[in-house]
Amino acid sequence: MKFVPRKPKEGVNVSKEHPLVEAGTLIVGLGFIFATIALALIFMVEIALYFVPVEKEAALFKNWLPEDIATVSPNDARLEKLESLLWRLARHFPESPYDFRIEIDDSEYMNAMALPGGLIIVTAGLLEKVATENELAFILGHEMGHFKNRDHIRALGRGVVLSLMFAAISGSGAGSDLGATIADITLRGFSRRQEVSADAFGLALVEQEYGHVAESWRFFERIDEGDDEFLEFVTYLSTHPSPDDRVATLINNAAENGWSISGETIPIEW
Ligand SMILES: [Zn+2]
């Protein structure tokens, strides 16, 4: 039998699918692969961080200051008051390995953040809105709760992975704005569960310092009545329809522990 070469049929390499459908499938597929890799890496980093002793973190970031995200005002006269309040609260958290530090960022937005190594940054915008030391103590105590639960370091792990993935996809250098990305994700990365837990910790510190928790949450009620947003709690609000719920949870928490919700408060004058 003789082999007769034949021309292949026209369009043998052309898919029956519309090219746009094919492109879509490819993009969705690649996206899915990247998302899977990112999730796997995040999971691995979370596990790895679990094994990084908190003492190591505290030592590593001892003098660290993320100047790319915060314009720190070292000569702000309010700093002294903030430091003394923070250190008073820290006495009720003696098992902490951190030497807590606090800095003021000159931003007009209300925000507070917990950063690696025990650094708390509060914004000038926030300080302008606090009316009592008790409110401020609760906000600082809440941040200390994030350190206690190591939420900030989990968010950091997530930030590192996501910014590296982003750099891999976009082909840009990872180093340049890694710090900013880490900080950005650290700010947005807390879940509602983490916030509730940090609240409970902060409230306990306030109770130990003042012997009552009066006005601790007054700050939230007040900003809730206005137009401003407290950035630290955006995730909390975005995952729950009613901001009142946070205050209700705090009042419940106080009742369960038998903590007084009335008592003398200390007005703040800067
Ligand atoms: Zn928080």
- Measured in angstroms, how far is the CA atom of residue 253 from the centroid of ligand 1? 17
Cα 83 from Cα 61, distance rounded (Å): 18
- Measured in angstroms, how far is the CA atom of residue 236 from the centroid of ligand 1? 8
- Measured in angstroms, how far is the CA atom of residue 74 from the centroid of ligand 1? 24
Residues 6 or more apart whose CB falls under 8 angstroms from that of 97 comprise 54, 55, 58
Report H helices in 171-266: 178-188, 192-210, 218-225, 234-238, 244-257
- Measured in angstroms, how far is the CA atom of residue 187 from the centroid of ligand 1? 9
Contact 187, 111 (CB under 8 A): yes
pLDDT for position 21: 86
Phi, psi values for residue 134, rounded to 5°? -65, -40
pLDDT for position 86: 97
Q: What is the pLDDT along the chain (270 residues), one digit of tens a residue?
A: 677 777 777 766 777 778 888 888 888 888 888 888 877 777 777 777 767 788 888 888 888 887 766 777 888 889 999 999 999 999 999 999 899 999 999 888 888 888 888 999 999 999 999 999 999 999 999 999 999 988 877 766 666 666 666 667 666 554 455 555 555 555 555 777 888 899 999 999 999 999 999 999 998 888 777 766 776 665 555 444 456 788 889 999 999 999 999 999 999 988
- Measured in angstroms, how far is the CA atom of residue 195 from the centroid of ligand 1? 5
Residue 190's Cβ-side half-sphere holds a number of Cα atoms within 13 Å equal to 32
pLDDT for position 69: 65
- Measured in angstroms, how far is the CA atom of residue 219 from the centroid of ligand 1? 14
- Measured in angstroms, how far is the CA atom of residue 118 from the centroid of ligand 1? 14
- Measured in angstroms, how far is the CA atom of residue 166 from the centroid of ligand 1? 26
- Measured in angstroms, how far is the CA atom of residue 145 from the centroid of ligand 1? 8
- Measured in angstroms, how far is the CA atom of residue 147 from the centroid of ligand 1? 10
pLDDT for position 127: 94
- Measured in angstroms, how far is the CA atom of residue 28 from the centroid of ligand 1? 34
- Measured in angstroms, how far is the CA atom of residue 142 from the centroid of ligand 1? 6
- Measured in angstroms, how far is the CA atom of residue 217 from the centroid of ligand 1? 14
- Measured in angstroms, how far is the CA atom of residue 198 from the centroid of ligand 1? 6
- Measured in angstroms, how far is the CA atom of residue 184 from the centroid of ligand 1? 14
- Measured in angstroms, how far is the CA atom of residue 52 from the centroid of ligand 1? 22
Contact 139, 171 (CB under 8 A): no
- Measured in angstroms, how far is the CA atom of residue 146 from the centroid of ligand 1? 7
Phi, psi values for residue 132, rounded to 5°? -130, 160
pLDDT for position 65: 80
pTM to 2 decimal places: 0.73
